[in-house]
C-alpha cells in the first residue's frame, strides 16, 4: 500500500510533547502482500491519531560523522482505516 500525506498536525492542543505528528494519509496505490493477502485493499484513507512518543532524538544528529546513524524510537498511536461505501 502506498499513501500520500494530506494533512499533518503538531497542534499542542492535541499532540503531546515529544510525539510524532497526527497524519491523514490518502491511499494512492496498493498490491497484494507477499503471500497474496489483500485484506486492506479497499482502504482509501488511514488516520494516525493519539500519538505518544516517536519524536526524533534531539542529539547525535548534528555533524557529518552522524550521517547514516539509526535511532529506533518507540511510539504508540491509534490508526483508523477508512474505505468508500
The answer to whether the predicted template modeling score (pTM) of the entire model surpasses 0.85 is: no
Cβ–Cβ under 8 Å, residues 25 and 48: yes
Summarize pLDDT for 58-83 with one digit per residue, the tens.
777 778 888 888 888 999 999 999 99
Task: Report the number of distinct structural domains present in the chain.
Answer: 1
Q: Which domain holds residue 33?
A: 2-83
With a pLDDT cut of 70, the percent of the chain lying above it is 99
Amino acid at each position: 500500500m502506498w499513501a500520500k500525506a494530506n494533512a499533518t498536525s503538531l497542534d499542542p492542543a492535541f499532540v503531546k510533547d515529544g510525539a510524532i505528528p497526527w497524519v491523514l494519509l490518502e491511499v494512492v496505490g496498493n498490491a497484494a502482500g507477499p503471500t497474496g493477502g489483500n485484506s486492506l485493499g479497499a482502504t482509501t484513507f488511514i488516520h494516525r491519531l493519539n500519538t505518544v512518543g516517536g519524536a526524533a532524538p534531539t542529539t547525535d544528529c548534528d555533524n557529518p560523522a552522524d550521517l547514516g546513524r539509526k535511532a529506533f524510537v518507540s511510539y504508540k498511536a491509534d490508526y483508523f482505516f477508512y474505505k468508500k461505501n
